[in-house]
Chain A
Amino acid sequence: MEFFRKTLDPVIALAAIAVMDIFLFLIVGAWTVGGGETMMTGLIAQLFLGDDLKRLPFWELVFPPHADYWKIYISLGMLFGAFVGAVLSKEFYWRIPRRASEWLLITIGGLLMGIGIRLAFVCNVSTFFGMGAEMNLGGYLAISGIIAGAWVGSLIYKKILEG
């Protein structure tokens, strides 16, 4: 099938996603990833800590862990959809970063993303595909923040690349 042989124009892909996102907005709420990831964090922590997790008010007042939270399934769906796409287009293979410095950057980057999402109460997806499009004041704050952050991140990255 042509779809699995050629790379799709991202403008077409994102236009299709935007139309589906409008339907999702009408049914449950706009596309988001950070909320589902937080709930998964809570569920995993509960698995390890059991009732001890209740000693942290965050998991009582902000995100009481429960598995029937719809946002979790967007993320699991993306994992599944991407896996199917990669297998059918013969693009699935194990990719492992080679250098220790790459692992270090990924670790720091992942931590900053997790802390940033929770500090802001939104992720990059909600920023552009939810709040920003709803013209929420937070959307403009978040877009300014992520552009400033990406700029600083690019400066750091350039410095590292140049050694």
Chain B
Amino acid sequence: MSPVAECLVAFLFGSAVGLLVQRSRFCNTAALRDAIMFKTYRNTKALLVAMMILSIGFTGFMTIGAGHPMNFDVGLNTFAGLFLFGIGMVLAGACTVSTWVKTGEGNLGAAWALLFTFVGMFLFSLVWSWNYWPPAPASMTGEPNLEALQLGFANARTLQDKLGIPAVVFGFIQSAVLFAIYRAILRRERAQQAQHEVHQKEAVEAQAA
């Protein structure tokens, strides 16, 4: 596919995502923050459902060698980077998706967060140009490299190649785990609802008395 066609497909995909996220108020930050801070799970449930579908879809196609899975080494930097990101998204009140979507709704705070995401990236490029860590994709080996704090590369397909079990089997196992978390959230919501109703009933009775 030509680069222009790829860009066009990406734009169409992005437009549909922007529209759906705007209309549903989905927010990845809220999916984690609200579950941690307020024990509410509106966005968490949506995130889990998407991951269940994707786990089976991606691993299904990876079983037959189709698709474009990400292919680069991971390591301590993967954990540390997302740890910093997690703090940042809660402080900014938006993640990568919602900064674009909220900017599209006219939110200047989100546009400001986006601007400083760019600034952060540029600052990191200065540090990287000095210490060259984490290793650039061109110098990645796919194998553990403990000196550079890298664990190498592994996904459902490498498991298939090593163990002879189709990648999609692992996808189904992951989806089953995610579904168990989803069910646990539903149970918790029902318990919260029941407790709320008891409190309401008690308040009405207290008022009547």
Contact = CB atoms under 8 A, between A and B. Distances in A.
Interface of A is mostly: helix
Interface in B121-159: 121-126, 128-129, 132, 134, 136-138, 151-157, 159
A109 B57 CA distance: 33
Contacts of A113: 84-85, 88-89, 92, 95-96, 113, 116-117, 120
A3 to B, nearest CB: 7
Given A84-B19, A116-B83, A119-B80, A25 B57 contact: yes
A136 B159 CA distance: 10
Interface string B89-121: 111111111011111111111001111111111
Given A7-B25, A119-B80, A133-B51, A61 B138 contact: yes
A134 B90 contact: no
Contacts of B132: 57
B171 to A, nearest CB: 7
Interface residues of A, number: 123
Nearest to A108: B91
A84 B20 CA distance: 11
Interface of B: 1, 3-4, 6-26, 28-29, 32-33, 36-37, 42-43, 45-47, 49-51, 53-55, 57-59, 61-62, 66-70, 72, 74-75, 77-97, 99-109, 112-126, 128-129, 132, 134, 136-138, 151-157, 159, 167, 170-171, 174
